[in-house]
Structure 1
Amino acid sequence: MDDKITLNRRSFLTGAAATGALAAAGALFGCAPTQNASNDAASAEQSAQGTVDGYSSVIDWLGPKPEIDEADIVQTVDTEILVLGGGNAGIQCALAAAEGGAKVDVVEKATEDARKVKGEDIGHCNSKFLIDQGYGPYDVGEIVEEFCIRCGGRVRPEILRKYVANSGEAVDHMMDLVQWPDDRIKLCATTIEPDVSPCDPSQVICQVPGIALDGYTDWPMKRGGYRSWPGTAMFMGTIRHDIDEENGNGVGAFSRLDEVQQFSILKGQELGATWHFNETATVLVQDEQGAVTGAITEGPDGYVKYNASKAVVLATGDYSQNADMLWGLQDELVEWAMRAGKTKEDLVGMSPNMGEGIKMACWAGGFVEASPRATNQNGSGANGPWGVCPMLWLNANGDRFMNEASVQQNFPEIIRQPKGLIAAITDANWAESVKNGAPDHGSPNFGRVEYFTELQEDMEKVELDNPEGTECRTMCIAERTHKVVYGSETLEGLLGILGYEGEALENALASIERYNELCHAGIDSDFGKDAECMIPVETPPFYASTAQNQRWLNVGLGTMGGLETDDDMNVTDKDGNPIPGLYAIGRCLGGTFGFSNPNPWAGKNIGSAVTLGRVCGKLLTGQDIQ
């Protein structure tokens, strides 16, 4: 977003706060039209407190609806389907709609040179890509059930069914478009073998657990009470054997997913889809009945009005960079942050998005799904270089506190522990715990066996009784970051290095003794960890990796709580009625994450964006879906 647009957007918020002109008349600025005098009074009372109608927040994260004078519009564009946002979801929606014969226009706020999709993992099932490797086909209904369980039932099951059932076709279609090489494709900065296709087996792999390499086929794998499947296409590029100092270690830093997505952009353009870069979505256009008929964007030359005869699709992403929206909508993280003395700016995450599309929908009568709202922050565990695997975890008091095999419960159970140390404790048999991890998000990744081989090499070099520890390469994601591992010939020596002393040291030793007793008994009668994961800590040398539980977290990679819609992704009003002409996909779409991100496979974020973007484009043009 350029500086001019950023200043304009802030002026809407600060202007409202300075004048007190919030949503006193809900029909003008509120998140839904005011229905009667009683609601008028309620809205006025809420506005006086600085809240947005329909939300419990005490901060006005929405602000007034922008009013654009027709005289300020420098261009008008007529289209059938307008897609606002050219990320993973918008690309696939535009392509599908163009394949369905519609006139499609895509508005993207980045310049054409700067446009690049983020991430690397596409979570899905039953694709040719997976089945050819022996992973699937799997039962759609069972996977949908697991998604609903992990989301606590706070989802729309039919939207999740559309995602799971259509995900294989979406991924195969996307990959089939890749014909390498192609001089039109802008290579990712980290591509070091440009002659090799991003869809070559050396560049894209499926994340699997270690026991899969030993012949395990009894899917789904159940760990910590939850089921998981191998279902991730990871566009990781050429393996890095060390840290890439030039390009850093950000999420997806080595990914070649954008090269793959460029083929979908080009195919859509060949079918007539028109892309408009360097324009920021500003406000929706509605007729007298409230139907959405278009949108107004702001570009370098002024405002552009788009008339969309069929639909406007919101694909502008989350609101990770909008501190006001975070403080107003992320209730759970806000309360933890407040208790830790943090401000709203501390919640800002990694995604660059400001929530434009979500705010536009609210001004048009839509609603963000009710709290709790999920984020892409999974926890602060002592995962070390191993990833999230079922090793023994101790808190700052030296107590074991959870079923360590339950990735789903990582964040909520750790953050409730005393502030301070979280330690993963293991021994010479550390590899057995790593192999038994499930293929959840952030877990050990045996899709590239080199990662495990290199970790074994690094673990052999861990210097025992060195208080500084030894850096080892991670094996859970593409980025070859280093994590520190501590080692000692004795448990007392290891715990001392970690900082345990006095009562905490006694507790830690007692916790390990108790854990070993449970391991030998073959049943975790304390927390119910799977028998396969009950590996005793008793064979020297002993190892540990640590993290600090600060009792608060920011939103991490992004926010997941989007807009309320019906089962076809049509945005709805406060009564659940569809707003004609308005649709949401990607992270503008709610009903898919509940209150957390851990899922039965890595890559649900991008996987659902790609798949449901394609499904939405098909539905809008009358094409068949599963």
Structure 2
Amino acid sequence: MPAVQNYDVVVIGAGGAGFAAAVEAKSKGANVVLIEKMPTVGGNSLISGAEMNVPNSWVQNKLNIKDDTPARMAADTLKGGDFKGDPEIVGVMTVNALPTAEWLRDTVGVNFEKDNVFQFGGHSRKRALIPEGHTGTEVITKFSALADKMGIPVITNMKAEELVKDKDGRVVAVKAVSGDKEYTFNAKGGVVLATGGFGANAQMVKKYNPNIDERFKTTDAPGTTGEALYMAEKAGGQLVNMGYIQTYPICDPISGVIELIADARFDGAILVNQEGKRFVEELERRDVISNAILKQPGAYCYVLWNDNIGKISNTVKIHDTEYQAFTKQGIMHTSDTLKGAADFFHIPYANLKATVDRVNQMAKDGGKDLDFHNRGGLKDMSTGKYYIIKAVPSTHHTMGGLKINTKAEVLDKNGKPIPGLFAAGEVTGTTHGTNRLGGNAYTDIMVFGRIAGDGAAAEAKAR
């Protein structure tokens, strides 16, 4: 491979945002390259559940959810981030959510479940589209195939180390290394940073948020280490909101990975502590649930559901591999009786029975949760089998990063765009405020990935 290569657009990071940017730029006639420091593509976008919030989607319409709008989703998003997100950025994300989802479906070829949407914590409506398989594999596989078909080179094991500017302050190239060799990728139109956050860099996390310390493992892909943020800062980019770091509340105590099977809580599963008592609304914001868990005995909790819930929960059905693995690890147990579930984890049975009896009574009375106001309603758990899994919070998403405008242009410390530098996804820090609502990451990365790719391609044409 030549040490110096010339392109219209150079995209750094082959996750969802990077693929969206590369495909969009290529579709606008640009000559594009996508470079990735890890041996494989996908990053967090691959291991994510990949649900994508979309107001007024075709699936909502099929399910007769007729009153959702971009404005309603924007209001939920801003409130969920304690109004620290940029309203203009959030507005662009929500308005473009539907056309971007349709693009994923029709152009990229992503298959979404046709009759099912999630309502994540903090959302006022069920609005998250769900890809087949309930992970990002469906999305990244389709992106990879499309990039190959379009002739977009995807170069792995290539770590970007420096953004090169010309005498006018424009970003015109990327210096990168692969093994012991150095490469320069010239970018006529611009460089798109789509490198993700820094959730897998424990030292960096603790630096910006000392409360998230050695107690926490991470859900993130190993490449999510944040060096590109400093690379961009050195090129003049402004870092904002770096202390806003989210933990995911329901994770494997051993590895730190998300327990996707325990998303049964979106279908009625309850959270209980070691004393067998509920302590928080199961559909609350992620940060609220995480903080509540850390205050419980041992700083962990259990997710409990029965066959009544499992039979209606697609997320339980689809994650049989997790079921087998977590059961083998001893952090998950199945029992014909509630007592068996309690005894396995040494939970006082009388307490757990009282908790479940109360849930059953409220379920019988229409599902209204008088104790914690579960917005999805409570489900009957009077009969087995019972499924119970132990869970802890893990570092999950870094809301801080580069400040961008609505064109996905990276801004300097004076709020001015840096010519030739674009960014999208978790590397940016202006969308989510203090807390990202579930399902908003995929909307964010896809919408702004496309905007960044389009902008860089336009710059190439203009030069």
- Shorter chain as denominator, the TM-score bin is 0.7 to 0.9
Matches within 5 A, 1:75-114: 75-110=3-38, 114=40
- The question of 1:431 aligning with 2:431 is answered no
Aligned residue number for residue 388 of structure 2 = 545
Matches within 5 A, 1:15-414: 75-110=3-38, 114-115=40-41, 118-119=46-47, 121=50, 123-125=52-54, 130=59, 138-177=68-107, 204-206=112-114, 208=116, 226-236=123-133, 252=136, 255-266=137-148, 268-269=150-151, 276-287=155-166, 290-300=169-179, 302-334=181-213, 337=214, 340=215, 346-347=217-218, 349-375=220-246, 377-380=248-251, 387-388=264-265, 389-406=267-284, 408=286, 409-414=288-293
Alpha-carbon distance between aligned partners in 1 of 2:176 and 2:57, rounded to the nearest angstrom = 40
Change (3 A) 1:287 1:619: closer
Unaligned runs of 5+ in 2: 253-258
Paired residues, number: 439
Change (3 A) 1:230 1:520: closer
Deviation at 1:153, TM superposition (A): 1.9
Whether contact under 8 Å (1:423, 1:544) holds in the other structure is no
Deviation at 1:543, TM superposition (A): 3.5
Other structure's SS at 2:223 match: coil
Deviation at 1:403, TM superposition (A): 2.1
Change (3 A) 1:100 1:493: closer
Whether contact under 8 Å (2:113, 2:130) holds in the other structure is yes
Change (3 A) 1:521 1:411: same
Whether contact under 8 Å (1:317, 1:355) holds in the other structure is yes
More helix by share: 2
- The RMSD of aligned alpha carbons is 4.0
Matches within 5 A, 1:489-500: 495-500=342-347
Other structure's SS at 1:265 match: helix
Other structure's SS at 1:403 match: coil
Deviations 1:467-506 (A, max 9, x none): xxxxxxx3365855335444465x66754454135xxx66
**Equivalent AA in structure 1 for residue 347 of structure 2:** Y
Alpha-carbon distance between aligned partners in 2 of 1:102 and 1:128, rounded to the nearest angstrom = 30
Whether contact under 8 Å (1:385, 1:476) holds in the other structure is no
Deviation at 1:332, TM superposition (A): 3.6
Alpha-carbon distance between aligned partners in 2 of 1:204 and 1:301, rounded to the nearest angstrom = 42
**Equivalent AA in structure 1 for residue 125 of structure 2:** S
Alpha-carbon distance between aligned partners in 2 of 1:527 and 1:102, rounded to the nearest angstrom = 53
Other structure's SS at 2:124 match: strand
Change (3 A) 1:136 1:284: farther
**Equivalent AA in structure 2 for residue 256 of structure 1:** E
Task: Decide which moves more: 401-410 or 607-616.
Answer: 401-410
**Equivalent AA in structure 2 for residue 286 of structure 1:** K
Other structure's SS at 2:229 match: helix
Where relative contact order (Cα < 8 A, 6+ residues apart) is larger, the structure is 2
Alpha-carbon distance between aligned partners in 2 of 1:357 and 1:98, rounded to the nearest angstrom = 23
Aligned residue number for residue 192 of structure 1 = none
Alpha-carbon distance between aligned partners in 2 of 1:512 and 1:258, rounded to the nearest angstrom = 40
Structure 2 length-normalised TM: 0.77
Structure label with greater radius of gyration: 1
Change (3 A) 1:94 1:416: same
Alpha-carbon distance between aligned partners in 1 of 2:384 and 2:132, rounded to the nearest angstrom = 36
Deviation at 1:559, TM superposition (A): 4.2
Change (3 A) 1:478 1:610: farther
Whether contact under 8 Å (2:116, 2:130) holds in the other structure is no
Deviation at 1:262, TM superposition (A): 2.9
Change (3 A) 1:545 1:384: farther
Alpha-carbon distance between aligned partners in 2 of 1:316 and 1:146, rounded to the nearest angstrom = 26
Change (3 A) 1:479 1:592: farther
> Matched residues, percent identical?
21
Alpha-carbon distance between aligned partners in 1 of 2:62 and 2:359, rounded to the nearest angstrom = 38
Deviation at 1:234, TM superposition (A): 0.6
Other structure's SS at 1:261 match: helix
Aligned residue number for residue 255 of structure 2 = none
Whether contact under 8 Å (1:129, 1:172) holds in the other structure is no
Alpha-carbon distance between aligned partners in 2 of 1:359 and 1:101, rounded to the nearest angstrom = 31
Aligned residue number for residue 248 of structure 1 = none
Other structure's SS at 1:324 match: helix
**Equivalent AA in structure 2 for residue 125 of structure 1:** V
Deviation at 1:445, TM superposition (A): 2.8
Alpha-carbon distance between aligned partners in 2 of 1:492 and 1:535, rounded to the nearest angstrom = 19
Other structure's SS at 1:594 match: coil
Whether contact under 8 Å (1:318, 1:353) holds in the other structure is yes
Unaligned runs of 5+ in 1: 1-73, 179-197, 210-220, 238-250, 436-443, 447-473
Alpha-carbon distance between aligned partners in 2 of 1:543 and 1:127, rounded to the nearest angstrom = 36
Whether contact under 8 Å (1:76, 1:307) holds in the other structure is yes
Other structure's SS at 1:236 match: helix
Deviations 1:268-296 (A, max 9, x none): 43xxx555554220111234564433221
